[in-house]
């Protein structure tokens, strides 16, 4: 796990995304309403460069993430994915792919609007969407139903608050460096106001980070004991420790250094501490990258049945019902499907009816809508399925309970050649 390239790519991608949106938030929300020093144009150009660097790195690491993930899904080499266009399947036929495409459009638009300071509102809106969209491809984004929106909203708020604080720190450090170089009275006055405003924004962000972090841990961990007994929990613990260290440094900045900012030594110390916060924050993001590669302990379930070696299998988990879908054989041609629906405690869910939908990898292909038949062992089966082509299909299970309520679960499933 330590040498997992995809985890490091995820970490780099989140760092670039936070840098992009955080710099926009800092420029628009913290600096925007303040009267600027006369020679502020140079710093504005530098802040724009930070945004463009973040966007370029976001696109680069996002492309690397897509290619590496495609290779893992399809079981092919990176070379085959690159040469044979396997990444297009993921782009066209998965939620992750659609989110990548939408964020690429937002990146292009954001790179343009930052040219014009008058477009501050648009910059905030686009940067917010650019930062929040990855939550829809996370563990929380995969949950369905009304209750599935709660962890998703928590994830979105977690990302936005991290962007406002950690993502804004490089821009803040750049401003402190500019004020230290100029050593002018108007720049000191300007820096003091900005520091107080950013300090308030950071305090709000920390409160939201703590609240959403607790909510996310409650959703993703099986219990407090997981924090030291599981790999996932230990990474969460390391993340909490580093976050506490960042908060400690930020507290020193707010209550000890900020009131003394007119002294050059205090300004230098604040700049040094801000860089320390950035370094700790990057370590946090490395842990975030690895957390995304592990199954949350609350989502780990023992296999309810043995899965044939040549079958395609997916587990879909929602608060209301879980579904295990097995397509055997898991390749193009004639197959059978078995669906097991159960509650969180693995007892059989009392479904009145179950239907299976299969959407092909190519948008122009024909979707399948099939009724399942209940077997004596409690599973639901479809004996004849004609899968026209290999690729990443979308499996959709529609469960109707005894009261007539409809629950829809969906997930990707890989059909081999």
* Phi, psi dihedrals of residue 377, rounded to the nearest 5°: -85, 5
* d(C-alpha 325, C-alpha 375), whole Å: 15
Residue pair 324/340 in contact by the 8 Å Cβ criterion: yes
Q: Residue 43 to residues 39, 40, 67, 103, 168: CA-CA distances in angstroms? A: 8, 5, 36, 27, 15
Residue pair 399/354 in contact by the 8 Å Cβ criterion: yes
- pLDDT, residue 229, reads 78
Q: The tokens of 119 are what?
A: 């477009």
Q: The tokens of 251 are what?
A: 């507290």
Cβ-based burial of 301 (10 A; exposed 0-12, middle 13-18, buried ≥19): middle
Q: Residue 259 to residues 98, 254, 267: CA-CA distances in angstroms? A: 47, 8, 10
Q: Where are the domains of the chain?
A: 5-298, 301-415
159 contact partners, CB below 8 Å, separation of at least 6: 131, 132, 134, 135
Angle at 180 between CA 188 and CA 28, to 5 degrees: 65
- pLDDT, residue 265, reads 86
Residues 63-116 have pLDDT tens digits of 988 888 887 766 667 777 766 666 777 777 677 888 999 999 999 999 999 888
* d(C-alpha 151, C-alpha 202), whole Å: 23
For the chain of 417 residues, list the mean pLDDT of each consecutive stretch of 10: 78 95 94 81 90 95 87 71 69 80 93 85 94 78 52 89 95 92 84 92 93 83 78 88 92 87 85 94 92 70 67 80 88 89 80 90 75 89 86 87 84 80
Indicate the helix (H) or strand (E) that contains 318: none
339: helix, strand or coil: strand
Parallel, antiparallel, or unpaired: how do β-strands 391-401 and 380-387 relate? unpaired
- pLDDT, residue 170, reads 96
384 contact partners, CB below 8 Å, separation of at least 6: 334, 336
Residue pair 290/4 in contact by the 8 Å Cβ criterion: yes
The third-level CATH classification (topology) of the domain covering 301-415 is Immunoglobulin-like (2.60.40)
* d(C-alpha 413, C-alpha 411), whole Å: 7
Residues 186-212 have pLDDT tens digits of 888 899 999 999 999 999 999 999 999
Q: The tokens of 70 are what?
A: 């495609």
| Side-chain-side CA neighbours of residue 344 (13 Å) | 6
- pLDDT, residue 363, reads 56
Indicate the helix (H) or strand (E) that contains 400: strand 391-401
CA diameter of the chain: 83
């Amino acid at each position: 796990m330590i040498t997992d390239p995809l985890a490091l790519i995820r970490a780099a991608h989140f760092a670039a995304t936070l840098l992009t949106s955080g710099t926009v938030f800092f420029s628009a929300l913290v600096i925007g309403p303040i009267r600027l020093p006369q020679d502020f144009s140079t710093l504005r150009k530098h802040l724009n460069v930070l945004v463009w660097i973040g966007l370029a790195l976001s696109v680069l690491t996002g492309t690397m993430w897509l290619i590496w993930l495609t290779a893992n899904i399809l079981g092919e080499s990176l070379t085959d994915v690159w040469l044979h266009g396997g990444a297009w399947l993921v782009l066209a036929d998965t939620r992750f792919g659609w989110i990548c495409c939408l964020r690429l459009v937002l990146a292009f638009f954001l790179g343009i609007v930052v040219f014009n300071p008058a477009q501050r509102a648009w910059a905030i809106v686009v940067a917010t969407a650019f930062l929040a969209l990855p939550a829809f491809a996370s563990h929380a984004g995969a949950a369905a139903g009304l209750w599935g929106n709660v962890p998703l909203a928590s994830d979105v708020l977690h990302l936005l608050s991290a962007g406002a604080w950690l993502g804004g720190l490089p821009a803040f450090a750049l401003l402190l460096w500019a004020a230290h170089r100029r050593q002018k009275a108007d720049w000191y006055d300007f820096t003091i106001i900005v520091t107080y405003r950013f300090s308030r924004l950071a305090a709000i962000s920390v409160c939201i980070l703590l609240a959403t972090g607790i909510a996310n841990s409650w959703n993703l961990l099986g219990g407090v004991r997981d924090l030291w007994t599981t790999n996932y929990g230990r990474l969460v613990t390391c993340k909490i420790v580093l976050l506490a260290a960042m908060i400690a440094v930020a507290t020193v900045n707010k209550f000890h250094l900020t009131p003394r900012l007119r002294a050059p030594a205090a300004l230098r110390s604040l700049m040094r501490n801000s860089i320390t916060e950035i370094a700790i924050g990057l370590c946090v993001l490395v842990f975030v990258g690895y957390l995304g590669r592990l199954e949350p302990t609350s989502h780990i379930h023992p296999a309810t049945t043995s899965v044939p070696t040549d079958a395609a299998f997916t587990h879909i988990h929602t608060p209301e019902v879980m579904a295990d879908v097995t397509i055997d054989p898991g390749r193009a041609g004639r197959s059978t499907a078995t669906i097991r629906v159960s509650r969180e405690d693995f007892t059989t869910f009392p479904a009145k009816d179950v239907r299976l939908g299969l959407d092909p990898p190519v948008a122009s292909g024909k979707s399948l809508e099939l009724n399942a038949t209940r077997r004596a062992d409690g599973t639901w089966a479809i004996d004849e399925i004609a899968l026209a082509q290999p690729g990443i299909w979308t499996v959709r299970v529609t469960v109707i309970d005894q009261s007539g309520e409809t629950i829809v679960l969906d997930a990707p499933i890989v059909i081999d050649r």
